[in-house]
Chain A
C-alpha cells in the first residue's frame, strides 16, 4: 500500500441519473471509465494504485438501478444496497442463504455502502453474495448502448476480479426464480475475525421430500479463481436418500474439487479440510430448513 490516507490518482467524476446517460458515458470513455456504486472495493484498489481510470461513473443516483421487485421471483437492481437486499429477504423469509451471507459480509457500514451488483462486478473470488446467488441460479442482465444480454451468474465470472463485462457494458439487474416449496438454503463463511474476507464460504440450496434429496446445489467462495459450483458433491446427493455417510462423502468430494491456494488468510490445505466440514454443516442446516424443522 503506497498511501491509504488520500488518493493521489486524479480522475474525472460524474453521477448520471439515467441508465442511458451511464451507457453513453461508458461508450464515450471507451474502457477508460470505471463504474462505481458503494466503492468499498474500488477505492481500496485506487489507493493501492491497481486501477487508473480516467473517469469514475457513480451509478447510485440512477433510480432504475435501485429496486427490489418480488413479482414471482426476484428482480434486484444492480445498484441496490446490500442492506436493502438483506432486509427484504429477512422480512419475506426468502432466499435465506443470501441474507445470511450479507449478514456476515464485511460490517454493517459496508452493507450501507456496497451494492449487490458491485459485489458481483468486483468479482473477488471470495465475494460473499456469489455462492448464494449461484445456488439460486441467479441470472444477470448486462446492457450496453448496442446490446442487451442475460447471463447465468456462473458464466459471468471469468477470473480473479475479471468478468464477462465488455468495456462498454454495465450490469443493471440480478434475477432470481421464485422460491419453491420444500426447499431450504443456508450459507456459512470461515474467516479470521468477525469482519474479514472469507477463507472459505459455502452455500447450499436443496429441495427435499421426506428423506429424499430431490435437488441440491452447492457453491463455494474463496477456494478457486471464481466462485464455483461443486458439481461433484451435487451429483453424490441429488436423487438420493440422505444419510450422514452420504453427506460426509459429498463433503470429501467438495474438498477434492475446489482449487484453493495459500494466501495471507489461509492455506490450501486448511481450506480443503474446513471446506468439507463447512459444507456438511451448511447442508444439514439447509436440509432441516427444507422440512421446516429450523428457521
Chain B
C-alpha cells in the first residue's frame, strides 16, 4: 500500500500530508490534525456525527477516504466560529435554545443546520426535520435543535 502526499485546506489552513489509501477522513481530521469536533459515532454512515463540509457540501467523513479529498476544501465544526472566537449565529441559537445535552451530535447538527439555511433562509419545521434526518440525537428529542435552526433562519 503506497502512502500518497495529499493536500487540502482545512478551515482555511493548507495542509500537505502523507496519507495511506485506507485512511478515513474522520481519523485524519481527529488524529493527525487534532480536530476532534468531528465525531466517530457509528462508522457506517447511520448517525451523521461525522459530518463535515467538503467543497461546501456536507458529507460523511467516516465513509470518505482522505486520499479522495486531494485538492479539496474541508470545513469542520471548528471552522465555523470566527478566528476571534465570535460564534456563528446558529451556534448562538443553539445556546439560546439549549439545543445540546451531551453535545455529541451537535457538530453534525450545526453543519446540517447551516447547510439548510444556506439553501433556504426560512425553512419550515418539516423541511428542517427532513434535512437533519440523517443526524441522530440520543438526548434532546430533536425539538430544541429544530427550534434553534428555525429561529436562526427567521433572524436572517
Q: Which residues of A contact B (CB under 8 A)?
A: 1, 3-13, 15, 39-40, 43-44, 46-47, 56, 58, 60, 83, 106-110, 112-113, 193-195
Contact = CB atoms under 8 A, between A and B. Distances in A.
Given A15-B70, A43-B65, A108-B131, A7 B24 contact: yes
Nearest to B31: A6
B64 A39 contact: yes
Contacts of A13: 4, 21, 65, 67-68
A114 to B, nearest CB: 10
Given A6-B24, A9-B22, A13-B65, 12 more contacts: A1-B43, A3-B43, A4-B42, A4-B62, A12-B2, A12-B21, A43-B63, A47-B43, A58-B68, A109-B112, A195-B46, A195-B134
B74 to A, nearest CB: 13
Interface stretch (B9-17, B51-59, B82-90, B148-156): B51-59
B51 A11 contact: no
A13 B45 CA distance: 22
Given A110-B134, A113-B59, A11 B44 contact: no
Nearest to A44: B44
A234 B43 CA distance: 41
- Report, as a range, how many residues of chain B touch the other chain: 35 or more
Contacts of A193: 133
Q: Which among A1, A56, A112, A194 has the greatest number of chain B C-beta atoms within 10 A?
A: A112
Contacts of B44: 1, 4, 44, 47
Nearest to B50: A109
Contacts, number: 100
B2 to A, nearest CB: 6
A110 B60 contact: yes
B73 interface: no
A109 B2 CA distance: 29
Interface of B: 1-2, 4, 20-24, 27, 40, 42-46, 48, 51, 54, 57-60, 62-65, 67-68, 70, 112, 115, 129-131, 133-135
16 contacts: A4-B43, A9-B22, A10-B21, A11-B22, A12-B21, A13-B65, A15-B68, A15-B70, A39-B65, A60-B68, A107-B48, A107-B134, A112-B58, A193-B133, A194-B134, A195-B133
Contacts of B23: 6-7
A40 B45 contact: yes
Contacts of A47: 43-44
Q: Which among B24, B54, B60, B62 has the greatest number of chain A C-beta atoms within 10 A?
A: B60
Contacts of B70: 15
B134 A106 contact: yes
A195 B20 CA distance: 31
What are the 5 closest A-B residue pairs judged by CB atoms, nearest first?
A107-B134, A4-B43, A194-B133, A13-B21, A10-B1
B22 A107 contact: no
Contact of A107 (B2, B40, B133): B133
A112 to B, nearest CB: 4
A60 B42 CA distance: 25
Contacts of A11: 1, 21-22
Contacts of B64: 39, 43, 113
A113 B62 CA distance: 12
Nearest to B4: A13
B36 to A, nearest CB: 14
A47 B26 CA distance: 14
Contacts of B20: 10
Nearest to A103: B130
Q: Which among A3, A5, A40, A43 has the greatest number of chain B C-beta atoms within 10 A?
A: A43
B117 to A, nearest CB: 13
Contacts of B24: 6-7, 43
